[in-house]
A and B are shown apart, each in its own frame.
Chain A
């Protein structure tokens, strides 16, 4: 009769391999961490110009932002109706230059409000352009 060979089921790995195991674990976690994608809103904003184009500005849609309100061409709009109203105003405009929407923000407009409105403009098919107030020093003659 053949005797069955006893095999140890739990075999400890050699302690010299600990460093290699740790190394492989770190590489694994680093690779996992580095492939986490960032998601966001892409925005192409035309480069700033200091030249004033009064006639062009006049025909562009203007969106004004305050701390918690939004207005299209000076008329306040509820945020839930914003996209629909803007889409109506952009109807029939096919050229990108006609679809420019000038965004003017009050200095205290928070970013979360601004990003919600500018994303809605792009969703409606508008091209976001920022209009910023310039600081001017005026010397008053004595």
Chain B
């Protein structure tokens, strides 16, 4: 019985990992006065190779706004949190259209950064 439960759990963990971005490589920037991001169902990430991912899946910038809108659905304000994880050296030409796309999709933008140490 225990073995079946164990295997089922492993199966669901692997399935969940496909929607996760923890395997992607990026270095966060630093900022002061951080707040807790809370629960978010959408995460946008730019990795060290300048590739764009939505919930761990690679996407193009042209699809981003529509895909975020689809994932957020009719969620009320306050539950439309979109985590934005941008590699610290990414340039404006790459990250500004992403911020614009999140804003267009009606997402509540939260930049994931590290606490700045004095």
Contact = CB atoms under 8 A, between A and B. Distances in A.
Given A48-B103, A115-B113, A39 B92 contact: no
Interface SS of chain B:
mixed
B6 interface: yes
Interface stretch (A4-12, A52-60, A90-98, A105-113): A105-113
Interface SS of chain A:
mixed
A105 B96 contact: yes
Given A19-B6, A38-B83, A45-B109, A108 B93 contact: yes
Given A112-B89, A116-B29, A130 B99 contact: yes
Contacts of B31: 41, 115-116, 119
Interface size bracket, A side:
35 or more
Interface of B: 1-3, 5-6, 9-10, 13, 29-38, 40, 83-84, 86-93, 95-97, 99-100, 103-104, 106, 108-113, 115
Given A40-B35, A40-B83, A123-B32, 19 more contacts: A22-B2, A30-B13, A38-B36, A38-B40, A39-B36, A39-B112, A39-B113, A40-B111, A42-B35, A107-B91, A108-B91, A110-B92, A111-B86, A111-B91, A115-B111, A116-B29, A119-B33, A130-B96, A130-B100
Interface of A: 17-20, 22-23, 26-27, 30, 37-48, 65, 105-112, 114-116, 119, 123, 130, 132
